[in-house]
C-alpha cells in the first residue's frame, strides 16, 4: 500500500470547499446532507491520511469500520458528477475477508468547475456492495464494489475494484480507492448512466475503526 493517501482528483477540492459549511437559510435537505457529509468526509480523510500503515496485522478476530465513500465520473459533454455516501466495512482477520456497503448517496453534476460546487445535489436510492474482499499480503486489502443507484431520471450502474490498506498502530482505520487498484493492474472501474458509459470514474472509501 502506498504510504501517501490522498483524495481522488476533483473530489478533494469539493470536500475542502464544503468543509467550512454554510449558513444559507435556503438550503434543501439534500444540500444540507451533502455539505455535512463533505465536511465529515474531509475531516476523516485528513485523519486517516496522517496515520502510518498498520505494521502488525491481526491473525484472528474482526473489526468494523464506519466512514465515507466518494464516486466521481464524467459524461461525454465533460460534465462531472460527484457523489458522497456513508460507508460501513467489516474485516475478518481470521478468514482474511472484507465485506461492506456504501449507502445514502447524495450529490450531482458539478455546476461550477472553478469551485467544484454542486448547485442542486440530489439523494440517490440504492447502495454499492463490497464483494470478494480480501486481506493481504501484509496490511493490504482489495475488493470489488458494485451496485445500482437511482435518482430523478437516472439509473447509475457501478462496477469497480478498489485497493488500499489498514492504518494506525494499533489499528485505527482503513482506506481504499481505484487509483491504487489501477497502479496494481487490477480490473478497472466502469460506470453507466441510463446505459451510457461514463468517463474517468473514480471511487474512494475511508473508515475509522468502531
* 38 C-beta neighbours (distance < 10 Å), count: 27
What does pTM read for this prediction?
0.86
Q: Which domains does the chain have, with CATH numbers?
A: 10-209 (2.40.160)
Half-sphere exposure of residue 19: CA atoms within 13 angstroms, side-chain side = 13
Among residues 69, 63, 76, 25, the alpha carbon closest in space to that of 45 is found at: 69
Per-residue pLDDT of the chain (210 residues; tens, 9 = 90+): 444 444 444 455 445 444 444 443 345 788 788 888 888 998 999 999 899 999 999 999 999 999 999 999 999 999 999 999 999 999 999 999 999 999 999 999 998 887 778 888 999 999 999 999 999 999 999 999 999 999 999 999 999 999 999 999 999 999 999 999 999 999 989 999 999 999 999 999 999 999
The DSSP letter of residue 52 is: P
Query: Which pLDDT value is given to residue 5?
Result: 42
Q: Are 176 and 48 in contact (CB under 8 A)?
A: no
Read off the DSSP letter of residue 55.
S
Mapped to the 3 state alphabet, what secondary structure does 153-187 carry? CEEEEEEEEEEEEEECCCCCEEEEEHHHHHHCCCC
In this prediction, residue 115 carries a pLDDT of: 76
Instruction: Please tell me whether residue 141 adopts helix, strand or coil conformation.
Output: strand
Burial class (CB in 10 A: 0-12, 13-18, 19+), 10: middle
CB 143 within 8 A of CB 149: no
State the CB neighbour count (10 A cutoff) for residue 83: 26
pLDDT of residue 34: 87
Q: Which residues of 111-131 are buried (b: 16+ CB within 10 A; e: fewer)?
A: eeeeebebeebbbbebbbebe
Contact, 41 vs 60, CB < 8 A?
A: no
Q: Quick one: CA dihedral 148, 177, 99, 141, positive or negative?
A: positive
Reduced to 3 states (helix: H, G, I; strand: E, B; else coil), residue 76 is coil
The three-class DSSP label of residue 25 is coil
Amino acid at each position: 500500500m502506498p504510504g501517501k493517501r490522498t483524495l481522488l482528483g476533483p473530489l478533494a477540492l469539493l470536500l475542502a470547499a464544503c468543509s467550512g459549511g454554510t449558513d444559507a437559510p435556503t438550503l434543501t435537505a439534500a444540500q444540507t446532507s451533502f455539505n455535512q457529509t463533505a465536511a465529515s468526509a474531509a475531516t476523516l480523510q485528513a485523519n486517516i491520511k496522517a496515520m502510518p500503515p498498520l505494521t502488525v496485522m491481526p491473525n484472528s478476530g474482526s473489526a468494523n469500520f464506519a466512514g465515507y465513500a466518494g464516486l466521481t465520473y464524467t459524461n461525454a459533454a465533460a460534465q462531472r458528477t460527484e457523489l458522497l455516501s456513508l460507508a460501513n466495512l467489516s474485516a475478518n482477520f481470521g478468514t482474511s475477508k472484507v465485506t461492506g456497503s456504501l449507502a445514502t448517496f447524495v450529490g450531482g453534476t458539478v455546476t461550477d468547475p472553478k469551485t467544484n460546487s454542486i448547485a442542486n445535489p440530489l439523494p440517490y436510492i440504492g447502495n454499492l456492495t463490497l464483494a470478494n474482499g480480501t486481506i493481504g499480503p501484509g496490511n493490504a486489502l482489495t475488493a470489488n464494489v458494485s451496485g445500482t443507484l437511482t435518482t430523478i431520471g437516472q439509473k447509475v450502474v457501478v462496477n469497480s475494484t478498489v485497493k488500499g490498506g489498514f492504518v494506525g498502530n494499533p489499528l485505527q482505520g482503513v482506506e481504499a480507492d481505484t487509483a491504487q487498484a489501477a497502479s496494481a493492474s487490477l480490473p478497472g472501474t466502469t460506470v453507466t448512466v441510463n446505459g451510457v458509459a461514463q468517463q474517468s470514474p473514480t471511487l474512494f472509501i475511508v473508515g475509522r475503526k468502531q
